[in-house]
Amino acid sequence: MTAEAYLESRRSAIEPELSRRLAEALRPVPPRLAEAMRYGVLGGGKRLRPALVLAAAEAVGHAPAPPSAFQFGGALELVHCYSLIHDDLPAMDDDDLRRGRPTVHRAFDEAAAILAGDALLTEAFVWTASVPNLGAALTRELAVAAGASGMVGGQALDIEATGRGAIPADAVERIHEGKTSALFAAAAAGGALCGGATDGWVERLRSYGRALGLAFQAADDLLDVEGDPAARGKRSGGDAELSKATLVASLGVEGTRARAHANAEAACDAVAGLDGAEGEILRALALYAAGRSR
């Protein structure tokens, strides 16, 4: 099965489960806030992070993926969607489009977008904490990945570097490790935990997710230069316009493409020894991350 076919098959399983859990969570929420949260989560998306949780759980021997993997994957997607809502705000990247629709602060207002993001982040921890037997471990995975040493820290470094133009590629990848790779690493490691992996395989899957995330972000830098805005559902050229620290600014287009594929190969190396269709899917997802077109 190709990575694209796998993602589509998992998306069709993830989407209704995500929608069901979110609907339950939103019942006691004020209507306008609930609508902003729903808008920010259910407006499309590849669902790559929860799909990676399922793939990791299946690869270590638990196929089909258990309910815990769906629950943890859903929590990761809430955090990812919160990060997009806040990233689009005027104080951050000031984007008007996301997934082909007005961003949350444009469809509602800035206050609603901030509160929707805050609420999605905290709701994610409700979902992880309530996973039987694994609640504490999965909550810690998510908290570390999303926090000051992970995604938020990476975003802070990204903001600090904005306007400085080209910086060394290794410094760019330190930003990418936080703002992008941390959630991918948590997805792969958390999926391994859900699948009952030994500690050794949890760490190998964490390394896999980290390298896949670096490949994914390198491809994202390329897409901002080469991508079709209609296919991406967002404007292109924003990185250069804002003088963002990107691999393209540091290495050029071909150097960035080479770095993306090198990270994808590192991800494949991390899961060498996982045989069968499940191992092949992990390797296909890494190569997909490096060469995607949207």
pLDDT tier at 230, thresholds 50, 70, 90: low
Residue-range definition of the domain harbouring residue 181 = 3-291
Give Cβ neighbours of residue 31 (< 8 Å, ≥ 6 apart): none
| pLDDT per residue as tens digits for the range 125-173 | 999 999 999 999 999 999 999 999 999 999 999 999 988 878 999 999 9
| Pick from 48, 71, 174, 203: nearest CA to 126 | 71
pLDDT of residue 112: 98
CA–CA distance, 249 with 222 (Å, rounded to integer): 10
Instruction: Record the pTM.
Output: 0.94
Please determine, for residue 191, whether its predicted confidence score (pLDDT) is greater than 70.
yes
Looking at residue 58, its amino acid is E
Contact 104, 89 (CB under 8 A): no
* CATH number of the domain encompassing residue 119: 1.10.600.10
pLDDT tier at 1, thresholds 50, 70, 90: confident
Number of domains in the chain: 1
133 burial (CB, 10 Å; 0-12 / 13-18 / 19+) is exposed
Tokens standing for residue 220: 């994202």
